[in-house]
């Protein structure tokens, strides 16, 4: 194989990974500009939680159809379209002077972001041999979560310097540039090396509902959906939005410092995702790692929020460990594939991923609503301030999610890393 042919798959993989980086960055960036958003839109906690969650509403609604579209039209077209859709959402959000316009901007951004992870996996499946799929796709997850880290402390620092609107506008411009690169560089399949516009598969795409119906009739698909959603709750609700103001309150630190501490949750997740997957593959066990990691993740978060007052260093370690153990959620996708037939595996994985993102869409505004119920009227610089007790009561939702995750892990049927009878 020539050097060019060896490096080409990695170049195309890099575009898929950058797309997921961009999507994850957009997902968590509002947490680093929370106070500014509340001030500029004169909103309460529930309102801003809903604003952030609009990203998830669009993302969720598109997860299952995206897989079929990727098969029919190819990642190149979809990634290009998605990047420009994210850019349009960013421009709308950055220039919004009303909440309705801001909602529309976040909705468009979420719709565009919904394509990148699925398209990235599609590119991995056609450009790399099957025995490398787990590692290469795991690295996409690693790069994506790195985007979440970039959307925390670095964004908070830049927001303090130039304002949130300039940051969002810059990401919109970046989306346009990325869209052009996708169109020029991405090739859907090795068969298209000489003509990237020629189709590679003339077979009709099967009806989406046929495979989805098979997936949702499998009980373990539902167990994995509930487990994945519950395990992702601390990342998508605490890490992606409410953790930064909480750390600022409890430890009296600046927004960039708080964002840096919360970024450790994402760092733990990024490091553990490929590690836990490798351990699970080597031991040929799915259930045991899920059970152990869920118990430990719940314990770390419980001590962090409800234990005795901790130093910032100890709290940061617990945040990192919570992310590390929660990252075992990636095993939900492998377990789902092993519990479903080949005809239904794709739809089953997309279905589980949809429920994972639903947890963020639901919990972000619910926590904001619970904070508003306990607000004592304190306002600083036109931003509502909430007490430690209010946060602790609101975060009981995440403890509940952790308990649900443990129960779902108990209900997981071991596959021993093999395809099991449906």
Q: Residue 303: pLDDT band by 50, 70, 90 thresholds?
A: very high
In the predicted model, what is the mean pLDDT of residues 320-329? 95
* C-alpha to C-alpha distance for 316 and 109, rounded to whole angstroms: 30
In terms of average pLDDT, the best of 124-128, 359-363, 369-373, 382-386 is: 369-373
Region of poorest pLDDT, from 56-70, 115-129, 338-352: 338-352
In the predicted model, what is the mean pLDDT of residues 187-208? 64
pLDDT of residue 71: 67
* C-alpha to C-alpha distance for 25 and 146, rounded to whole angstroms: 8
Percent share of the chain, pLDDT over 70: 91
The domain at 1-188 falls in which architecture? Up-down Bundle (1.20)
Answering whether pTM is above 0.95, one says no
pLDDT of residue 43: 79
Tens of pLDDT, residues 120-179: 878 877 888 755 656 677 788 889 888 988 887 889 889 989 999 999 999 999 999 999
pLDDT of residue 256: 85
In the predicted model, what is the mean pLDDT of residues 282-308? 95
What is the residue extent of each domain of the chain? 1-188, 207-422
CATH superfamily of 207-422: MFS general substrate transporter like domains (1.20.1250.20)
Residues 160/34, Cβ–Cβ less than 8 Å: no
* C-alpha to C-alpha distance for 21 and 242, rounded to whole angstroms: 21
pLDDT of residue 1: 47
Token duo for residue 337: 């594939």
pLDDT of residue 201: 52
- More confident: 72 or 307: 307
């Amino acid at each position: 194989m020539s050097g060019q042919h060896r490096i080409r798959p990695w170049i195309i993989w890099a575009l898929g990974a950058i797309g997921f980086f961009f999507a994850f960055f957009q997902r968590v960036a509002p947490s680093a500009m929370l106070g500014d958003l509340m001030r500029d839109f004169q909103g309460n906690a529930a309102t801003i939680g809903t604003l952030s969650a609009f990203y998830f509403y669009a993302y969720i609604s598109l997860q299952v159809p995206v897989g079929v579209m990727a098969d029919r039209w190819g990642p190149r077209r979809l990634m290009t379209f998605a990047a420009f859709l994210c850019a349009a959402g960013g421009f709308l959000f950055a220039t919004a002077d009303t909440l309705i316009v801001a909602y529309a901007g976040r909705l468009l951004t979420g719709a565009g972001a919904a394509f990148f992870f699925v398209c990235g996996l599609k590119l991995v499946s056609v450009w790399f041999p099957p025995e490398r799929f787990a590692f290469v796709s795991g690295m996409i997850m690693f790069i994506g979560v790195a985007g979440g880290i970039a959307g925390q402390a670095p964004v908070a620092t830049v927001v303090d310097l130039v304002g949130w609107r300039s940051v969002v506008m810059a990401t919109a411009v970046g989306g346009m540039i990325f869209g052009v690169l996708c169109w020029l560089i991405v090739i859907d399949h090795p068969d298209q090396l000489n003509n990237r516009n020629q189709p590679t598969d003339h077979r009709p795409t099967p009806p989406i509902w046929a495979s989805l119906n098979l997936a949702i009739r499998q009980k373990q698909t539902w167990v994995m959906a509930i487990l994945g959603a519950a395990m992702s709750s601390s990342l998508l609700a605490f890490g992606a939005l409410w953790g930064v103001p909480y750390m600022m309150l409890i430890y009296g630190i600046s927004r960039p410092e708080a964002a840096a501490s919360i970024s450790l949750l994402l760092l733990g997740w990024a490091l553990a995702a490929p590690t836990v997957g490798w351990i699970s593959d080597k031991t040929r066990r799915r259930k045991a790692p899920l059970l152990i990691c869920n118990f430990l993740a719940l314990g770390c978060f419980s001590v962090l929020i409800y234990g005795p007052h901790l130093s910032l260093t100890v709290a940061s370690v617990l945040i990192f460990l919570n992310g590390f153990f929660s990252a075992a959620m990636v095993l939900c996708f492998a377990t789902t594939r092993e519990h479903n037939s080949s005809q239904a595996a794709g739809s089953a994985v997309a279905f589980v991923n949809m429920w994972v993102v639903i947890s963020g869409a639901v919990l972000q505004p619910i926590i904001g609503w619970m904070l508003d119920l306990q607000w004592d009227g304190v306002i600083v610089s036109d931003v509502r301030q909430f007490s430690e007790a209010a946060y602790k009561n609101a975060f009981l939702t995440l403890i509940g999610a952790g308990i649900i995750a443990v129960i779902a892990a108990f209900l997981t049927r071991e596959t021993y890393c093999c395809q099991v009878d449906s």
